[in-house]
Homo-oligomer: A and B are copies of this chain.
Amino acid sequence: MKNYKVALLAGDGIGPEVMKEAVKVLKLVEERNADVAFELNDVLFGAAAYFETGKAFPEATKQACDEADAILKGTIGLSHEESKKIPVDEQPERGALLPLRRRYNTYANFRPVYLPKGVAHFSPLKAEVIGEGLDIMIIRELVGGLYFGEKETGVDENGKRFVREVLEYDEDQIRQIITVAFEVSQKRKKVLHNIHKSNVLKSSVLWNEIVEEVAKDFPDVEVKNILVDAAATYLCLNPAQFDVMVMENMFGDILSDQGGGILGSLGLMPSACKGPEKSYYEPSHGSAPDIAGKGIANPYSMIGSVALMLEMSFGMEQEAKNLWNAMQSVFAAGYSTPDLSKDGEAELITTAKFGDLVCEAL
């Protein structure tokens, strides 16, 4: 009997709604597997936590995460206007999400741009651009770069406001993410696109040096170096050429969201954030305050994050595969949610109903 502790950080906006569906699925997986039990621990996180406790990442939540085998996170964040009610450093991104990433050193962020032919109609790209479907794995460094470098805001001797923030990496940080990327490439198509900006950034010069060094240990993987700006062009023009892409934190933030655009929605992009000891899982989309509480958000990306957790933290590969298939089959049967599809394009159902259908299909 395996007992897995999972901390649930539902968060803000649509977070609690989609988390409910994730829990439904987890309970079903537990029911089906006599030798597995999930101990779920619901805790406060994000703006919700701030308004209740004065801290976006309260002590009790830290403890629950410390004790957990894996962490399942919903979404955090408020609207541009609402977030002004919280001091800058307690805002959910700076006060909760980034500290979570740092606490567990989740340096490897996996963002699949996975668009099987059957759901290719969601994409804004022409059918001939997508071809046989997309299956890209974006691997983003998640605990370095501009996100965690020193920051200084001030007023200079002439009374002028200024700001300085540091993009920093050392060779170990780069090597660990690059190694992960090569390992993943080796299990897939053996082509690794290395995204960089070495014609301007010195950090990319070091990054590329390490890529060349690590490449020696993976002679069967072909490395293709591509500038980040060119990568943004080609993700639109010819995404099917990519298999695994690796890049630093900020580039990964932007290009993975471009990937979400290509899928037709960030609602179709789950993600895994892997640390040396513990990993956490989250949808790539935001908290969508404009549609929160309406029951129209698609839980695909949240349930997909459960699938990634089952596979990567608990070694339940078959259950993960079944879950992906169940989700695809709901779309294939003609169902969708109002955030993804218009009336007439699909039978529109609620967040909860989508979760129910995934459970039925399982």
Contact = CB atoms under 8 A, between A and B. Distances in A.
Contacts of A258: 232-233, 235-236, 258
Interface centre among A77, A146, A169, A260, by most B CB within 10 Å?
A: A146
Given A160-B172, A235-B261, A258-B258, A153 B205 contact: yes
The 3 closest A-B pairs by CB, nearest first: A236-B261, A229-B257, A93-B199
A98 interface: yes
B168 A124 contact: no
Tallying the copies of this chain within the complex gives: 2
Interface stretch (A262-270, A291-299, A319-327, A354-362): A262-270
A146 B168 CA distance: 12
Nearest to A208: B80
Contact of A94 (B80, B200, B251, B266): B200
Nearest to A209: B161
Given A125-B124, A151-B202, A254-B232, A161 B171 contact: yes
Given A93-B199, A125-B125, A237-B261, 18 more contacts: A124-B129, A146-B201, A149-B164, A152-B202, A161-B170, A161-B171, A161-B209, A164-B166, A164-B167, A164-B168, A165-B168, A232-B261, A233-B258, A233-B260, A237-B264, A251-B254, A254-B254, A254-B255
Contacts of A230: 257, 286
Contact of A126 (B126, B170, B266): B126
Nearest to A237: B261
A168 B257 CA distance: 25
Interface centre among A80, A88, A225, A251, by most B CB within 10 Å?
A: A80
A163 B206 contact: yes
25 contacts: A77-B199, A94-B200, A98-B200, A124-B237, A124-B238, A125-B126, A146-B167, A146-B201, A149-B164, A153-B205, A160-B172, A161-B170, A161-B171, A162-B170, A163-B169, A165-B166, A165-B202, A167-B167, A229-B253, A230-B257, A232-B232, A233-B260, A235-B258, A236-B258, A254-B255
A234 interface: yes
